């Protein structure tokens, strides 16, 4: 009989105990799996989100941050200069404000919305049209401000392409009394970075300026740039040379910043919890195996007396550990997947988290890491019981077993 065959028989001889041990490994393994998913989940998800937006360079003012952006001086001339760069394929200016959105003829305070003003190239990236059409490439004088609304706003206010709404912008930090501006819904769009509970609308830069009752100066707080294939670094360098007073960030740099600041807490938590989970699994498997060996000292001594070498006894125990950890670890994956859905749903309730951002994201390498960590833990946990079993004094143990 092979070592693993004997190990299997040993485990199967106490089905209740073995099933409970496997259940324990499954649950702890599922938690470990989740923590490994969490360690890179935000990073992977955010990268997908950023890359899917279709732009690979972001230009912001040197002051402020990616989240709290300051206006860019001379944004219009910057846009012209950048657009002329041979490495650049397309760009869009972005400016945001908040506003109150009202439907004519309907009572109530209306919706508080975030307003994103862009130039035409944002279509298909900052938002994805669900129905209707995108914003026109330039404003038509005399026409109502064109608007893209989110599906939630469209659903709550029963808006369709062609519906007319009123918009009043807020100016942060002051009591303001800007007039209501008429806007027409041209399309319903899903906004890539919209958080749950947020409501976003988009219009043209000119439309936003009109709502501010300000000249259409193409003021912007961010410029999104899409470079030609393979020309990302060159484009970034060229833009930085054009305007050294601004910060030019590639997607990788954006992700790195978020990784270092916003995501680092979850990475640390995942490291701490992963370590604790492994320590827990180690402790429990070692205790189970040690107790199992202590219950079978007579058998072990008899096997040694019959001529079974130490390495065979060690191999049996290693296989016992491997079977417990292996079966439990395999079952941990689907359980961990379900748990990830639950934990992801909890964490995504945080304010400001885009609905398309996930904390737990599956990568094949996670499976490999999970297996390796659990495997190593199983081996380490078996070391002390192996030491006990291989070092027991055969004669004294036999004597004790006979007398007991």
Partner 1 sequence: MNTPIIEGRGLTRSFAMPAGVVTALGEVSIRVDAVDYVAITGPSGCGKSTLLHILGCVDQASAGSLAFEGREVGALTESERSRIRLTRIGFVFQRFFLLPMLTAWENVELPQAEAGSTKADRRARTGELLDYVGLTDRRDHRPAQLSGGEMQRVAIARALANRPALLLADEPTGELDEETGAQIATLFDRVHRDGTAIVVVTHNPAVAARAGRHLVMKSGRVIST
Partner 2 sequence: MNRIHARAFAAAFLVALTVPAVTTPAAAELPAILVSRQLAEREHLRAGDVVILATNADGSGQRRFRIDGRYEPTPDPVRFTARRLEARMHLPDLVAMTTDPADPSSAEAITAINVRLANPGDVARFSTAMVAQAPGIAVRPTVRARDGSDPFAVLERFHVAVAVVTVLGSTAFLLALMVMRAEERRETIGIIRLIGVSQRTILMEVLVEGLLIAAAGAVFGILLAVATQGAVNQFFQWRYDTALVFVRVTRSIALQSIAVSVPLGILAGLVGSWTLLRRDVLALLGR
- Name the segment binding partner 1 (CB under 8 A); options: 120-128, 155-163, 213-221, 308-316: 308-316
CB nearer partner 1, residue 197 or residue 393: 393
Residues 283, 305, 338, 342: which binds partner 1 (CB under 8 A)?
A: 305
Residues 108, 162, 173, 307: which binds partner 1 (CB under 8 A)?
A: 307
CB nearer partner 2, residue 244 or residue 309: 244
Q: How far is the CB of 305 from partner 1 (least distance, A)?
A: 5
Cα gap 364→142, rounded to integer Å: 55
CB nearer partner 2, residue 30 or residue 123: 30
304 near partner 1, rule: CB under 8 A: yes
Task: Give the angle 252-371-278 at the CA atoms, nearest 5°.
Answer: 90
Whose tokens are 């099933």? That residue is 19
Q: How far is the CB of 18 from partner 1 (least distance, A)?
A: 11
Answer yes or no: are the C-beta atoms of 257 and 58 closer than 8 Å: no
The count of residues in the chain is: 404
- Report the partner that residue 394 touches, choosing among partner 2, partner 1, none (CB closer than 5 to 8 A by kind): partner 1
242 near partner 1, rule: CB under 8 A: no
- Report the partner that residue 346 touches, choosing among partner 1, partner 2, none (CB closer than 5 to 8 A by kind): partner 2
CB nearer partner 1, residue 62 or residue 395: 395
399 near partner 1, rule: CB under 8 A: yes
Answer yes or no: are the C-beta atoms of 101 and 185 closer than 8 Å: no
CB nearer partner 2, residue 138 or residue 287: 287
CB atoms under 10 Å from CB of 129, counted, come to: 17
- Name the segment binding partner 1 (CB under 8 A); options: 5-13, 117-125, 251-259, 381-389: 5-13
| Residue 245 CA to its chain's centroid (Å) | 32
Task: Give the angle 301-302-306 at the CA atoms, nearest 5°.
Answer: 120
Answer yes or no: are the C-beta atoms of 300 and 392 closer than 8 Å: yes
298 near partner 1, rule: CB under 8 A: yes
Answer yes or no: are the C-beta atoms of 113 and 199 closer than 8 Å: yes
- Report the partner that residue 288 touches, choosing among partner 2, partner 1, none (CB closer than 5 to 8 A by kind): partner 2
- Paired residues of 98 in beta bridges: 114, 170
CB nearer partner 2, residue 155 or residue 268: 268
- DSSP letters, 51-108, are HHTT--EEEEESSB-SSSBPPBTTHHHHHHHHHTSTTEEEEEEEEEEEEEEE-TT--S
CB nearer partner 1, residue 9 or residue 106: 9
Distances (CA, A) of 49 to 72, 182, 206: 24, 32, 27
The residue ranges that bind partner 2 (CB under 8 A) are: 14, 16-18, 20-21, 23-24, 26-28, 30-31, 62-64, 70, 173-176, 197, 245, 260-262, 264-265, 268, 272-273, 277, 280, 284, 287-288, 291-292, 295, 339, 342-343, 346-347, 349-351
- Report the partner that residue 95 touches, choosing among partner 2, partner 1, none (CB closer than 5 to 8 A by kind): none
Cα gap 127→94, rounded to integer Å: 12
- Report the partner that residue 287 touches, choosing among partner 1, partner 2, none (CB closer than 5 to 8 A by kind): partner 2
**Which residues, 6 or more positions from 111, have their beta carbon under 8 angstroms from its beta carbon?**
100, 101, 102, 153, 156, 157, 199
Q: How far is the CB of 260 from partner 2 (least distance, A)?
A: 8
CB atoms under 10 Å from CB of 106, counted, come to: 10
Q: How far is the CB of 55 from partner 2 (least distance, A)?
A: 25
- Report the partner that residue 402 touches, choosing among partner 2, partner 1, none (CB closer than 5 to 8 A by kind): partner 1
CB atoms under 10 Å from CB of 285, counted, come to: 26
16 near partner 1, rule: CB under 8 A: no
Task: Give the interface with partner 1 as residue ranges (CB under 8 A).
Answer: 1-2, 6, 9-10, 12-13, 298-299, 301-310, 312, 393-395, 398-399, 401-402
């Amino acid at each position: 009989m092979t070592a693993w065959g004997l190990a299997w028989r040993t485990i199967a001889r106490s089905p209740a105990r073995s099933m409970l041990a496997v259940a324990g490994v499954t649950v702890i393994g599922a938690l470990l799996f989740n923590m490994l998913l969490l360690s890179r989940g935000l990073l992977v998800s955010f990268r997908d989100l950023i890359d899917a937006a279709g732009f690979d360079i972001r230009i912001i003012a040197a002051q402020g941050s990616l989240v709290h952006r300051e206006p860019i001086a001379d944004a219009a001339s910057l846009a012209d200069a950048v657009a002329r760069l041979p490495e650049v394929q397309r760009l869009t200016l972005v400016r945001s404000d908040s506003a109150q959105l009202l439907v004519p003829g309907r009572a109530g305070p209306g919706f508080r919305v975030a307003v994103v003003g862009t130039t035409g190239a944002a279509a298909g990236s900052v938002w994805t049209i669900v129905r209707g059409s995108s914003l026109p490439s330039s404003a038509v004088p005399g026409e109502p401000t064109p608007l893209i609304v989110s599906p939630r706003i469209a659903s709550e206010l029963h808006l369709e392409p062609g519906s007319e709404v009123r918009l009043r912008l807020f100016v942060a930090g002051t009591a303001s009394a800007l007039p209501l501006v008429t806007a027409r819904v041209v399309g319903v769009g899903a906004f890539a970075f919209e958080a749950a509970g947020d409501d976003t609308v988009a219009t043209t830069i000119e439309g936003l300026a009109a709502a501010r009752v300000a000249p259409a100066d193409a003021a912007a707080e961010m410029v999104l740039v899409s470079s030609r294939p393979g020309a990302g670094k060159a484009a970034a360098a060229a833009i930085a040379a054009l305007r050294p007073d601004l910060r030019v960030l590639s997607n990788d740099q954006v992700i790195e910043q978020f990784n270092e600041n916003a995501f680092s807490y979850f990475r640390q938590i995942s490291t701490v919890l992963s370590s604790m989970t492994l320590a827990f699994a180690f402790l429990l498997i070692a205790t189970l195996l040690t107790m199992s060996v202590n219950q079978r000292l007579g058998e072990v001594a008899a096997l040694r007396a019959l001529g079974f070498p130490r390495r065979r006894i060690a191999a049996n125990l290693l296989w016992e550990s491997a079977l417990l950890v292996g079966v439990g670890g395999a079952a941990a994956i689907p359980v961990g997947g379900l748990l990830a859905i639950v934990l992801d749903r909890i964490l995504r309730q945080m304010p400001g988290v885009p609905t398309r951002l996930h904390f737990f994201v599956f990568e094949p390498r996670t499976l490999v890491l999970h297996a390796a960590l659990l495997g190593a833990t199983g081996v380490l946990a078996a070391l002390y019981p192996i030491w006990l079993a291989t070092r027991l004094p055969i004669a004294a143990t036999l004597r004790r077993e006979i007398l007991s």
